Amino acid sequence: MTNTIPEQDQVLIFDTTLRDGEQSPGATMTHQEKLEIAALLDEMGVDIIEAGFPIASEGDFAAVSAIAQQTQRASICGLARASFGDIDRAWEAVKHARRPRIHTFIGTSPLHRDITKLSQDDMAEKIHATVSHARNLCADVQWSPMDATRTEHDYLCRVVEIAIKAGASTINIPDTVGYTAPRESADLIRMLLERVPGADSIVFATHCHNDLGMATANSLAAVEAGARQIECTINGLGERAGNTALEEVVMALKVRNDIMPYRTGIDTTRIMNISRKVATVSGFPVQFNKAIVGKNAFLHESGIHQDGVLKNAETFEIMRPADIGLNETNIVMGKHSGRAALRTKLRDLGYELADNQLNDVFVRFKALADRKKEVYDDDLIALMQDSTTHA
Ligand code: KIV
Ligand code: ZN
């Protein structure tokens, strides 16, 4: 197996923006855009890039092959269903990567077994055959029991053991419909580690969807229980309510390293840039109050907060904007802003005011702020020019 087991405290970041993320209705990206995003992911230190689903279309195949050839550092992964045809196609697409990976999956829950009309035994045989086939082609094979969180525990243990014996070195546990909750997510990983022979020689991955808004919490709970790979997307892009957001799990592990002592290889100062790129090319804007990368995530408007932040940023900021590569001002001027913020803002714009001048400008600023939602730098400059004319 080429997939080395990470150090005890290391968590691998598996980005699937280009595969699960692109499955969001309307989020289709062009070939060139996918290449650009893959380059940014590689530069920021993502360990594994799931570049697409090669059997899905000629375009997906071409994008995965091109990403495999251009990528310097990260492993490049292609998705395949449990069929030899899918697996061969995925291998064709990734085989020129420095570090190729095949990711094959099958739905193992009763609902999925009903659809595929496979008995437990027939499915177990299929898993053995397809994982072995992938392993004969590629040294790094990942296997996923889709809908794992709704699969019977005994059956889940049985098929995970089969996949490990057939050569999978990463076992991904998908919460396909965003159904699990943090305690259950942790218990599931713990149960697999305890019950499945050979579980200590492979990496468990957690792959969460956000239907109940718990994807980040569920992923972190899985890590605390022993998972060492988080599957995620930039901005949480993904079908329905999306996938675990890369920026959230990475920053949570960084900011709360005191209680979650795990590290990732991500250069967090590149987060904002790639977030903007993915929002632009996917056409999915980031909600204003989205954790970490939302437009408002570091903005302070209320006077009390602005005053606190100006005196000591830690009063109202648990991380610095620069940590995610945001070098813009974090003070937004509006009707809740106070004198201290106005003085600082005007100083930044080149105006040093005596107290009586500040009082005068403050009154007119408040009147303006009542009329406008946000008062921009240009508005303040106009206010100052107006004061000098009327002085
Ligand atoms: O959510 C899911 O189950 C998936 C699998 C293909 C891993 O994306
Ligand atoms: Zn998924």
Per-residue model confidence as pLDDT tens digits over 341-352: 899 888 888 899
Q: What is the pLDDT of residue 1?
A: 44
pTM summary value: 0.90
Cα 79–Cα 80–Cα 84 angle in degrees, nearest 5: 150
Q: What is the pLDDT of residue 170?
A: 98
The region that residue 171 occupies, defined by phi over 0 for left and psi between -120 and 50 for alpha, beta otherwise, is beta
Position 244 scores a pLDDT of 98
3-state secondary structure of 147: coil
Taking Cα atoms as reference points, which of 21, 31, 12, 5 lies closest to residue 282?
21
Task: Taking the CA atoms of 138, 142, 147 and 150 in sequence, report the sign of the dihedral they define.
Answer: positive
How many angstroms separate the Cα of 49 from the Cα of each of 78, 133, 173, 363? 9, 22, 17, 54
- pLDDT, one tens digit per residue, over 207-240 is 999 999 999 999 999 999 999 999 999 999 999 9
174 touches ligand 1 (CB under 6 Å):
yes
Residue numbers of the chain with a pLDDT score lower than 50: 1-2, 391
| 360 C-alpha to ligand 1 centroid (Å) | 60
pLDDT reported for residue 66: 98
Distance CA 275, CA 293 (A): 7
The per-residue pLDDT for 340 is 87
Surrounding ion ligand 2 within 5 Å at CB are 20
Could you identify the atom of ligand 1 that is nearest to the CA of residue 177? 1
C-alpha to C-alpha distance for 382 and 374, rounded to whole angstroms: 14
Instruction: Specify whether the CB–CB gap between 9 and 263 falls below 8 A.
Output: yes
Question: 233 and 15 in contact (C-beta within 8 Å)?
Answer: yes
What is the structure's pLDDT at 150? Answer: 98
Dihedral of alpha carbons 285, 288, 292, 298, sign: positive
Residue 27 CA to ligand 1 centre (angstroms) = 17
Q: Is the ipTM of this complex over 0.90?
A: yes
176 lines ligand 1 (CB under 6 A): yes
